[in-house]
Structure formats: C-alpha cells, structure tokens
C-alpha cells in the first residue's frame, strides 16, 4: 500500500536522484553525507509512498527500474521547481544569502570566515561537490564555486576569477622506476597514454590517469587504488595531499608542466551582490599559506 494521501517528501526525492546519478548506494551516501543503511531506508520509504520499486541492486551497484526511469525526470523537475520557488522568495525578501560550492580537497574556510566578517548578518552556507555535481552552478544549487580549472562549464555563461596556481606532481606506486627520482619532466610523460575521462577538457587537467589500458574509475579513491596496484600513474596538483596518506604511493615533482589553476566561478549577470564580495574575500584570504591548505607550493595569480 502506498501513502499517496500524504505529501511527497522532497528530501527523499533528492536522495533518490543522488542514487540514480551515482548508480551506487555507497557513493551516493558519501556524497549526501549520510550513512548507507539510512539512505537505503529512506529510499524504501519513498518506494512505499509511491507504491513501486524504483531501484534494483546489481553487482555493479544499482540500476533504475522502469518505474524509476519514469520517475527520475519528474523528480529532477520537482527539485528544480522547489529551488526556483525558494530563490524567488529570497529575492523578494532582500536578505543577503550565498551558497558556496567547493570541490575535491580544496579548503575554503579562510575565505568563508572573511566573508562572514564582512557580512555578519548574512546567511552563508557551503556545499562540497563531487565531479558529478557539475550542474550545481547552472542549476542554482550554489551561487559561486571554487575549483580547479578547467571546469566543464560553458565559458560564455560563467565569470572566472583566478585565485592561485599549484605545480603538478606525479603519483606512482612504490617500486615504480620513477619512484626514486627527484623529478620527472613533462616530455617524459608525453609518451604515456591518457585514460579517457568524461570531464577532461584539456591535455593537462588537474587530475589525470596515465597508462596503456586504464579501466574507468569514478571516485578519487578508486583512482588511487589503480595507481597503487600498478595499473596506472596519476598527474595531480601538488596541493592535493590525499595521496600522501597512503604508504604505498610516492609523489614526484613534474618539471615543465603547466600549473594547475584554482579559480572562483559564478554565473554571468547574477545580481547577487554577495558573489562579488565573496570573490574579493577569496582573493584576499586564499593566497599562499593563507587557507589553501598548502604551504610552499601555491602562488597567487595577478
């Protein structure tokens, strides 16, 4: 029996769209910052409410049932309509508000702290984004985004402000011929085959796997596992220290590689005055050694 006499809980709808996007309960739970068993229970609640099974578990993760395929575009439209209604009310209220997105390992605490100092009565929230959340800016789930360029966003639709640059480093497994090197050159890496990635838009991206036959990997942890197992090597920004947490990986500086750029991105012609203020706060506070999370490897961009 379903619960059609009750209102549909948009939180459950959002959980469903996350699982549908990741096609995996574990990755969706991590993205939503909830426990996987709790997420499974919430999806069951939604299925009970609708009176139909929306997701099937398969060895690779999950897949949509026919009912789930029919519900997904409507679920996305519901969430978008709710967001637009919220924004319309906020615009009328005139309250200072901003939601700031950030990706991967970037630390934006200093910029947010500075923005709160400048606007003590504003409503300032942050949201961590995964690589699958590329539509968060255009869908108005965030008002500004800090990430590493290039980002998969249309250049004519966004305003990009450079913050600082980081050199590149190579990550290899212990025992690799390059593991004991003081550095490698970009020319040496030129012969390595790049693994295909749906989000790569340039030859030198911030995160790149190299190898002759690298299987697809979605999460950062899966990519590090491929490197540790000897199936790939990785090019990363030197500011990302997560690979250093694994004793089976070694980092090697890369000479001659273009720097990885950290930028603030916002929608063009967005009237929210808090965006301009945040951009200024980020430029003032995310300089080398001032909240980037990295000391000695970053440099400002003029």
| pLDDT, tens only, 7-60 | 888 999 999 999 999 889 988 888 787 888 999 999 999 999 999 999 998 888
Residue 92 makes CB contacts below 8 A (sequence gap 6+) with none
Q: Where are the alpha helices (DSSP H) in 51-65?
A: none
- pLDDT band (50, 70, 90) for residue 170: very high
The predicted pLDDT at position 125 comes to: 94
Torsion of CA 191, 195, 198, 201, to 10 degrees: -20
Identify which of 272, 200, 264 has the alpha carbon closest to the alpha carbon of residue 235: 200
Residue 290 has pLDDT above 60, yes or no: no
Whether pTM > 0.75 for this model: the answer is: no
Judged by average pLDDT, the poorest of 25-29, 189-193, 269-273 is 189-193
Q: Which residue has the tokens 């050694």?
A: 289
Residue 200 has pLDDT above 50, yes or no: no
Judged by average pLDDT, the poorest of 74-83, 168-177, 179-188, 200-209 is 200-209
State how far the Cα of 57 lies from the Cα of 75, in Å rounded to an integer: 20
> 229: burial class by Cβ within 10 Å (0-12, 13-18, 19+)?
exposed
Identify which of 89, 101, 96, 92 has the alpha carbon closest to the alpha carbon of residue 139: 101
The predicted pLDDT at position 205 comes to: 60
Q: Where are the alpha helices (DSSP H) in the chain?
A: 10-22, 25-32, 36-50, 66-93, 109-118, 186-189, 220-228, 273-285
Torsion of CA 135, 128, 260, 279, to 10 degrees: 80
pLDDT, tens digit, for every residue of 85-113? Answer: 876 776 666 568 899 999 878 889 999 99
pLDDT, tens digit, for every residue of 102-153? Answer: 987 888 999 999 999 999 989 999 998 876 676 788 878 899 999 888 887 7
Q: In angstroms, what CA-CA distances link 240 with 61, 225, 298?
A: 28, 16, 11
State how far the Cα of 195 lies from the Cα of 188, in Å rounded to an integer: 17
The predicted pLDDT at position 203 comes to: 36
Q: Which two tokens stand for residue 5?
A: 């006499």
Q: What are phi and psi of 262, to 5 degrees?
A: -95, 130
State how far the Cα of 88 lies from the Cα of 67, in Å rounded to an integer: 32
Q: Cα angle vertex 94, ends 90, 100, to 5°?
A: 60
- pLDDT band (50, 70, 90) for residue 220: confident
């Amino acid at each position: 029996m379903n619960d059609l006499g009750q209102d549909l809980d948009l939180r459950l709808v959002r959980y469903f769209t996350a699982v549908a996007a990741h096609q995996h309960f574990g990755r969706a739970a991590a993205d939503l910052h909830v426990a996987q068993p709790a997420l499974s229970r919430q999806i069951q609640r939604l299925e009970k409410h609708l009176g139909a099974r929306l997701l099937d578990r398969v060895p690779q993760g999950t897949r949509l049932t026919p009912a789930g395929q029919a519900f997904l575009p409507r679920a996305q439209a519901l969430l978008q309509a709710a967001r637009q209604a919220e924004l319309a009310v906020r615009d009328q209220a005139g309250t200072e508000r901003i939601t700031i997105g950030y990706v991967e390992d970037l630390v934006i605490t200093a910029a947010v702290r500075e923005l709160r100092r400048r606007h003590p009565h504003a409503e300032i929230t942050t949201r961590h984004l995964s690589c699958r959340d590329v539509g968060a800016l255009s869908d108005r789930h965030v008002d500004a985004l800090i990430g590493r360029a290039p980002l998969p966003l249309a250049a004519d639709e966004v305003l990009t402000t450079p913050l600082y640059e980081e050199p590149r480093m190579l990550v290899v497994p212990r025992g690799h011929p390059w593991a004991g090197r003081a550095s490698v050159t970009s020319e040496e890496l030129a012969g390595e085959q790049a693994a295909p990635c749906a989000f790569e838009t340039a030859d030198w991206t911030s995160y790149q796997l190299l190898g002759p036959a690298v299987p697809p990997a979605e999460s950062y942890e899966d990519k590090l596992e491929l490197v540790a197992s000897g199936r790939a090597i990785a090019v990363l920004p030197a500011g990302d220290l997560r690979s250093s947490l694994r004793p089976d990986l070694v980092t090697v500086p890369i000479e001659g590689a273009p720097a990885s750029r950290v930028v603030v991105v916002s929608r063009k012609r967005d009237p929210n005055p808090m965006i301009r203020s945040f951009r200024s706060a980020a430029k003032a506070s995310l300089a080398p050694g001032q909240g980037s999370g990295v000391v000695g490897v970053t440099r400002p961009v003029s």
